[in-house]
Amino acid sequence: MSAEPTRTTESTAFRSGLDVIRGIEPRIADAIGAEIEDQRASLKLIASENYASPAVLLAMGNWLSDKYAEGTVGRRFYAGCRNVDTVEAVAAEHARELFGARHAYVQPHSGIDANLVAFWAVLAQRVESPALERAGVRQVNELTDEDWAALRRDLGDQRMLGMSLDAGGHLTHGFRPNISGKMFHQRSYGTDPETGLIDYDALRASAREFRPLIIIAGYSAYPRLVNFRLMREIADEVDATLMVDMAHFAGLVAGKVLTGDFDPVPHAQIVTTTTHKSLRGPRGGMVLCDDSLADQVDRGCPMVLGGPLPHVMAAKAVALAEARQPEFRAYAQRVVDNARALADGLTRRGARLVTGGTDNHLALIDVSGYGLTGRQAEEALLEAGIVTNRNAIPRDPNGAWYTSGIRVGTPALTTRGLTTAEMDEVAELIDTVLSRTSVGTTRSGKPSKAAYALEDGVAKQVAERSADLLAKHPLYPGIDLS
């Protein structure tokens, strides 16, 4: 993380802010204060969470929040946006330079918003624009009723090929209950049953048969690297647009840990991401694209989005500026080193990992080896102060709610400064909890997929060992709210 201001400066800023809030609604001030204490006391292993710097946090709490700014830089639907223009332009500049992208759009409020902008940008380029040209008009509202009906049919008949949720994909990659699964005629690709790895030959065969408009690459729980050069070859072969959702590993791309075939930006026509997770910024989204899609992407508001959030764009600019510093590259490499050390430590203790290990920032534990469901494991670990999330594994017999997996990731603990040797100790703590947890029962005495029983004293023992470990790496040491 970038150089910290003095303890007095940080403490004064946050303590004063909480005092102002407390004067209006003390329960909110108390909840904010309690949250930092909870985070300081927990081993945070949720792969999609991190700790933003004080500068990023402070950039979100200001009067930029008061501005409406629909449109894009220099082309707003509201007056008085010159400062918002500066903020958005700086954030986009940092994004282009950091990722080597031709175009950056920093308005999306979240990852799903970024994906929706990308979906509709591709639809506008590949379906809407030809329809307008055939009709001899420039805008959709100029189409006749007959032309509009035909366009709606064309838009509704488009196909998407994305990674299945249980294989490590994401809800927004075509999961049927999600809007992405409702917008498109969708098909999923999975992983090899034996290795757990993407089978590119099977993916290619599916693409040839299905002929999708969009192929989505990227993941939320796949512990290996994706060959984006191969993905682009497959997409080009079937005249599909390659879209990559790098929300979970954007920090590894920014930190130049993922390069060549494993860097999505040179290979995909359009790339989406969140700005938190491994990128360590505020909660928000972003779209990167080549020149062919830039105009359509910039129509994200009003096409998909409402008013941009200028205060969050300011925080994105700060986080992206931090990610351009040399120390961020070192951080990104440590994230991967720590993930491998954690995976190795778990494996040595007998844990079963999906694909047998990791090449990125996360690992996926098959907790059925401990006789547990993901729900039971998640709750037992939380009781001991270890924060994880349950996650489906390929062909999961317990489905997406109870699951058979626990996803663990290292971005947050790496930000705190934990080392590879300490990750082995974290693996020991995880294994201690899981190996001493058993299946609980319902009131009728039947085994429950949710209930668990952790041996007496284990939670206290693990929490004390965690506290000793975390005491060496204080969180936000420059902030004292007392």
Bond into 302 cis (ω within 30): yes
Given CA atoms 167, 171, 175, 176 in this order, what sign does their dihedral have? Answer: positive
Among 10, 113, 166, 245, the one annotated catalytic:
245
- Determine whether 245 is an active site residue: yes
- Determine whether 67 is an active site residue: no
Among 70, 154, 295, 425, the one annotated catalytic:
70
- Determine whether 446 is an active site residue: no
Among 49, 68, 93, 200, the one annotated catalytic:
68
The rounded distance, in Å, linking the Cα atoms of 251 and 444 is 48
- Determine whether 70 is an active site residue: yes
Q: What is the bridge-based pairing of β-strands 214-218 and 389-391? A: unpaired
Tokens of 111: 């990852």
User: What angle (nearest 5°) sits at the alpha carbon of residue 203, between those of residues 197 and 209?
Assistant: 160
Q: Evaluate whether 478 touches 55 at the Cβ level (below 8 Å).
A: no
Among 72, 172, 191, 274, the one annotated catalytic:
274
- Determine whether 68 is an active site residue: yes
- Determine whether 157 is an active site residue: no
- Point out the residues that are catalytic: 68, 70, 245, 274, 277, 283
